[in-house]
């Protein structure tokens, strides 16, 4: 009897026509939505997107999904449950996205900061974080008193390396004595490790901490130690009101809205988008008041110049770390070089893990 | 007045019943937590424990996935349990898992792109050997210099993680993808691919190995002299020594077995579900296996069930996140509850609660 009842309920549920215009959108995150950094940025955009479409979309998330078999399983389960579109919001999901996308050709995949595109249903999207890093570098070069910047880096992948190079070049331009100390954590989100790294860098004389990791730990350490720091991916002011100079804030919402709209319109196609200040996908958090007015103006001007396309952060002459020339006088770095960058620029004394 | 009384013999009934009771208590306490989060507790528990196996939508995919997720946990935990029984504490299975994967992948990458039936068997040998070798470091340090194997094996995990990063960035990096860390995808190299043995069942060589390990460990612990020595050394070390059990030999054997099995788990993962050597290849199986070993009462059959149960909470946990938007942290709390209740209930295996009348000084 019970079985019969279940069957009846089930068939009734199946008989209800699905709302044809409700698009199901799934998100998988490498960190927790409460990281106040990278993942928080994506989830902020998801909520804005969901609000924009109202009942016309249904979103779902799974957080803390490891790269590899776990990611593949979560995305497969999403696809099985009728998800139309999946945003995989971390670099390392590449192989997993490609393996699932091959099996579900009708699902639109959006992979953030990736580079593998084996199937026609995978779009890649990324932000030109190096543009923001240029601004951070400029500010760091002006604000430091010890001429030492501490850099907490995650994985030695092109986006992170380009960020270090951009920050260094612009710090060096305003402060020839600048030194970068770099610690690699091999993790995107590990508050304890990031806090340790920040402490070590401060002990080594750094008075400005830059991070390419997602937690707020370094900001808190910097606040306690009375040094300066930059947030990551989100405005982290509340975790260090004195220390926090600014942050590159990710603003994925307009992009997410346009991509979901494309799926609804049936016009979605695989793309490879690399957007920057000009597209509003990154913006700077409000300058800290401890930055002199003059510096605030310079930073504003730098953002404006990059956004207007008048200035490119990688404009020659730039040499590689080993002294070999990379860009000639006035030459602008091709996107291909930046997207596969695996060398430091001249002047950085640290060694790239290799 | 309530009085606690130590049992003369640990209760056999509670030893078996406790894990089931712990699951029920976890469901109740977890249900209360889900309700407090504003989620339907019945639906949540259903998604975690029931839907991965029985739901029409998910089961055909989740059931094989359950084997894929549980196999490495079981394989590692079976090895650890042998040592734990003898009071030899290998906490560094995660490191042995990584080194096993590196050795196995190393063999594969050395042969790439040659075909050959012998490549995969060689990888299996290399994987087991790698894990064995990494476990021998704490073993030899303990037998020679009497260092603590808990600390040494644990700290070697961090060394192994750095080695993994160095390999993914250097020696084993895919030469066709310069600029990006990670080796070639072994799933695309047929001779090295630990593929499914039967389509859509999830059964790969690692699952087979886990089952064989369970059977072997069971026979060894119940029928073989070595199993008897292990138990004796754990329960009565002095008696064991008088009985001619060499502690040195036992340390080497126990760490060796657990290391080799962890190495095998790593090899099967890197050549199958994991696919490639990447910096973030290790996702904590070696540590979770410690929980599985205890959840399974250090008994091979128990470990088999415990591994499946924990695998179920992982897969069901993801489903409940996806379908009900339960936060990931709540799922972790839920898994923690399971271990907490089990350990708390263990109390009544060894003690009984007596209500006595009148006050006693």
Q: Contact, B256 vs B68, CB < 8 A?
A: no
* Residue A233 C-alpha, separation from nearest chain B C-alpha, in angstroms: 21
CB contact under 8 A, B58 and A67: no
Residues in B closer than 8 angstroms to A353, CB to CB, are 165-166, 169
* Residue B24 C-alpha, separation from nearest chain A C-alpha, in angstroms: 23
Instruction: Count the neighbouring beta carbons within 10 Å of the beta carbon of residue B117.
Output: 7
Beta strands (DSSP E) in A9-120 are 23-28, 57-62, 85-88, 108-112
Supply the CATH classification number for the domain B60-325.
Answer: 1.10.3470
pLDDT at B228: 87
Q: By CA distance, what is B162's nearest residue in A?
A: A186
A81 → closest Cβ in B57, B170, B315: B57
ipTM for this model: 0.86
∠ CA A215-A218-A224, nearest 5°, is: 135
CATH 3.40.50.2300 in chain A: give the residue spans: 2-127+252-275, 129-242+281-339
- Interface with chain A: mutation pick from B66, B173, B314, B328, highest number of A CBs within 10 Å: B328
CB contact under 8 A, B323 and A81: yes
CB contact under 8 A, B279 and A340: no
CB contact under 8 A, B322 and A74: yes
CB contact under 8 A, A354 and B57: no
**Number of A:B CB contacts under 8 A?**
98
Q: What is the pLDDT of residues A295-334, one digit of tens each?
A: 999 999 999 999 999 999 999 899 999 999 999 999 999 9
CA B243 – CA A102 distance, rounded (Å): 61
Residues in A closer than 8 angstroms to B323, CB to CB, are 60, 81
CA B12 – CA B16 distance, rounded (Å): 7
Residues in B closer than 8 angstroms to A40, CB to CB, are none
What is A129-242+281-339's CATH superfamily? Response regulator (3.40.50.2300)
Q: Is some CB atom of chain B closer than 8 A to the CB atom of A115?
A: yes
Domain positions in chain B:
1-39+327-361, 60-325
Alpha carbon separation from A248 to A170, A229, B203 (Å, rounded): 15, 12, 46
* Residue A343 C-alpha, separation from nearest chain B C-alpha, in angstroms: 9
Place of tokens 């370094």: A218
Nearest to A44 by CA among A255, A203, A263: A255
Residues in B closer than 8 angstroms to A26, CB to CB, are 322
CB contact under 8 A, B278 and A353: no
CB contact under 8 A, B181 and A63: no
Q: By CA distance, what is B284's nearest residue in A?
A: A66
What are the tokens at B237? Answer: 């070390």
Nearest to A150 by CA among A187, A103, A185, A176: A185
Q: By CA distance, what is B317's nearest residue in A?
A: A62
CA B67 – CA B311 distance, rounded (Å): 8
What are the tokens at B224? Answer: 């073989």
Nearest to B250 by CA among B240, B265, B238, B259: B240
Q: Judging by DSSP bridges, how do beta strands B2-6 and B351-355 pair with one another?
A: antiparallel
Residues in B closer than 8 angstroms to A80, CB to CB, are 57-58, 61
The number of C-alpha atoms within 13 Å of A10 and in the hemisphere containing its C-beta is: 9
Q: Is some CB atom of chain B closer than 8 A to the CB atom of A196?
A: no
CA A141 – CA A135 distance, rounded (Å): 10
Residues in A closer than 8 angstroms to B68, CB to CB, are 69, 73
pLDDT at A8: 45
Residues in B closer than 8 angstroms to A33, CB to CB, are 327
The length of chain B is 361
Nearest to A346 by CA among A325, A328, A329, A315: A325
CB contact under 8 A, B166 and A353: yes
CB contact under 8 A, B327 and A63: yes
Place of tokens 């084993």: B172
Residues in B closer than 8 angstroms to A64, CB to CB, are 328
- Interface with chain A: mutation pick from B71, B158, B169, highest number of A CBs within 10 Å: B169
Alpha carbon separation from B184 to A99, A115, B175 (Å, rounded): 14, 15, 8
CB contact under 8 A, B315 and A186: no
Nearest to B194 by CA among B179, B180, B209, B182: B209
Residues 6 or more apart whose CB falls under 8 angstroms from that of B352 comprise B4, B5, B7, B11
Residues 51-110 of A with CB under 8 A from B: 60-70, 72-74, 76-78, 80-81, 92, 95, 99
The C-alpha R_g of chain B, in whole angstroms, comes to: 22
Residues in A closer than 8 angstroms to B62, CB to CB, are 77
Kindly report the pTM of this predicted structure.
0.87
- Interface with chain A: mutation pick from B43, B97, B280, highest number of A CBs within 10 Å: B280
Nearest to B112 by CA among B185, B6, B8: B185
Nearest to B100 by CA among B144, B69, B133, B66: B133
Local confidence pLDDT in tens for the 361 residues of chain B: 778 888 888 888 888 888 889 999 999 999 999 999 999 999 999 999 999 999 888 899 999 999 999 999 999 999 999 999 999 999 999 999 999 999 999 999 999 999 999 999 999 999 999 999 999 999 999 999 999 999 999 999 999 999 999 999 889 999 887 677 889 989 889 999 998 898 888 899 999 999 999 999 999 998 888 888 888 888 888 888 888 888 899 999 999 999 999 999 999 999 999 889 998 888 889 999 999 998 888 999 999 999 999 999 999 999 999 999 999 999 999 999 988 998 888 888 888 888 777 655 4
Q: Contact, B159 vs A138, CB < 8 A?
A: no
Backbone phi, psi, residue A283, to 5° = -145, 165
Q: By CA distance, what is A115's nearest residue in B?
A: B180
Local confidence pLDDT in tens for the 354 residues of chain A: 444 444 444 444 444 444 457 999 999 999 999 889 899 999 999 999 999 999 999 999 999 999 888 999 999 999 999 999 999 999 989 989 999 999 999 999 999 998 889 999 999 999 999 999 999 999 999 999 999 999 999 999 999 999 999 999 999 999 999 999 999 998 899 999 999 999 999 999 999 999 999 999 999 999 999 999 999 999 999 999 999 999 999 999 999 999 999 999 999 999 999 999 999 999 999 999 999 999 999 999 999 999 999 999 999 899 999 999 999 999 999 999 999 899 999 999 999 887
CATH architecture of residue range(s) A2-127+252-275: 3-Layer(aba) Sandwich (3.40)
Helix, strand, or coil (residue B92): coil
Q: Is some CB atom of chain B closer than 8 A to the CB atom of A334?
A: no
Q: By CA distance, what is B321's nearest residue in A?
A: A62
- Interface with chain B: mutation pick from A30, A47, A67, highest number of B CBs within 10 Å: A67
B275 → closest Cβ in A64, A95, A342: A95
* Residue A347 C-alpha, separation from nearest chain B C-alpha, in angstroms: 21
* Residue A294 C-alpha, separation from nearest chain B C-alpha, in angstroms: 39
Residues of B with CB under 8 A from a CB of A: 56-58, 61-62, 65, 68-69, 161, 165-166, 169-170, 178-182, 185, 187, 269, 273-276, 278-281, 283, 315, 318-319, 321-323, 325, 327-329
pLDDT at A74: 95
B179 → closest Cβ in A26, A99, A342: A342
């Amino acid at each position: 009897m019970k079985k019969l009842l279940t069957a009846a309920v089930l068939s009734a549920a199946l008989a209800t026509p699905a709302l044809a215009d409700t698009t199901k959108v799934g998100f998988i995150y490498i960190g927790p939505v409460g990281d106040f950094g990278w993942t928080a940025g994506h989830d902020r955009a998801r909520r804005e997107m969901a609000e924009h479409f109202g009942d016309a979309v249904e979103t779902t998330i799974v957080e803390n999904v490891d790269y590899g078999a776990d990611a593949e399983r979560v995305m497969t389960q999403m696809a099985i449950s009728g998800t139309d579109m999946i945003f995989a919001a971390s670099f390392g999901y590449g192989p997993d996205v490609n393996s699932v996308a091959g099996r579900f050709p009708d699902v639109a995949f959006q992979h953030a900061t990736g580079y593998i595109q084996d199937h026609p249903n995978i779009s890649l999207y990324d932000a030109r974080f190096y543009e923001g890093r240029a601004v951070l570098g400029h500010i760091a070069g002006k604000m430091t008193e010890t001429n030492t910047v501490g850099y907490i880096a995650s994985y030695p992948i092109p986006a992170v390396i380009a960020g270090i190079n951009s920050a260094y070049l612009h710090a060096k331009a305003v402060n020839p004595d600048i030194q970068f100390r770099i610690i690699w954590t091999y993790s995107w989100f590990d508050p304890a490790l990031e806090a340790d790294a920040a402490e070590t860098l401060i002990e080594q004389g750094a008075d400005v901490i830059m991070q390419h990791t997602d937690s707020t730990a370094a900001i808190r350490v910097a606040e306690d130690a009375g040094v300066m720091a930059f947030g990551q991916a989100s405005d982290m002011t509340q975790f260090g009101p004195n220390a926090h100079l600014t942050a590159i804030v990710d603003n994925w919402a307009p992009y997410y809205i346009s991509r979901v709209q494309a799926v609804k319109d049936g016009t979605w196609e695989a793309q490879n988008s690399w957007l920057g200040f000009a597209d509003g996908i990154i913006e700077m958090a409000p300058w800290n008041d401890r930055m002199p007015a003059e510096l605030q103006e310079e930073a504003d001007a730098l953002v404006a110049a990059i956004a207007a396309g008048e200035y490119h952060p990688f404009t020659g002459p730039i040499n590689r770390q080993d002294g070999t020339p990379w860009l000639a006088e006035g030459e602008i770095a091709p996107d291909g070089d930046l997207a596969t960058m695996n060398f430091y620029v001249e002047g950085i004394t640290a060694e790239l893990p290799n | 007045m309530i009085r606690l009384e130590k049992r003369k013999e640990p209760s056999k009934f509670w030893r078996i019943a406790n894990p089931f009771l712990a699951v029920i208590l976890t469901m109740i306490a977890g249900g209360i937590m889900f309700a407090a989060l504003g989620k339907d507790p019945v639906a949540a528990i259903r998604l975690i424990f029931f839907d991965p196996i029985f739901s029409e939508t998910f089961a055909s995919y989740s059931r094989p996935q359950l084997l894929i997720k549980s196999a490495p946990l079981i394989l590692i935990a079976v090895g650890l349990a042998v040592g734990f029984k003898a009071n030899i504490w290998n906490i560094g299975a995660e490191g042995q898992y990584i080194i096993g994967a590196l050795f196995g992948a190393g063999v594969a990458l050395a042969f790439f792109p040659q075909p050959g039936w012998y490549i995969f068997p060689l990888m299996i040998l290399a994987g087991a050997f790698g894990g064995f070798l990494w476990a021998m470091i704490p073993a030899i340090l303990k037998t020679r210099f009497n260092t603590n194997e808990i600390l040494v094996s644990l700290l070697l995990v961090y060394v192994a993680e750095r080695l993994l990063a160095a390999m993914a960035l250097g020696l084993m990096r895919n030469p066709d993808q310069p600029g990006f860390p990670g080796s070639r995808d072994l799933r695309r190299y047929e001779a090295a691919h630990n593929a499914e043995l039967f389509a859509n069942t999830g059964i790969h060589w690692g699952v087979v190995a886990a089952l064989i390990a369970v059977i072997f460990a069971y026979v060894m612990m119940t029928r073989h002299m070595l199993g008897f020595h292990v138990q004796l050394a754990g329960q009565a070390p002095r008696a064991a020594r008088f009985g001619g059990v060499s502690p040195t030999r036992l340390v080497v054997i126990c760490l060796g077995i657990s290391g080799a099995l962890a190495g095998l788990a790593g090899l099967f993962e890197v050549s199958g579900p994991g696919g490639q050597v990447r910096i973030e290849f290790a996702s904590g199986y070696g540590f979770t296996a410690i929980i599985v070993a205890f959840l399974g009462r250090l008994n091979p059959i128990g470990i088999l069930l415990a591994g499946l149960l924990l695998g179920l909470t992982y897969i069901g946990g993801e489903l409940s996140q996806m379908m009900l938007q339960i936060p990931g942290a709540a799922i972790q709390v839920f898994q923690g509850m399971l271990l907490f209740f089990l350990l708390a209930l263990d109390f009544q295996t060894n003690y009984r609660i007596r209500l006595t009348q009148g006050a006693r000084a």
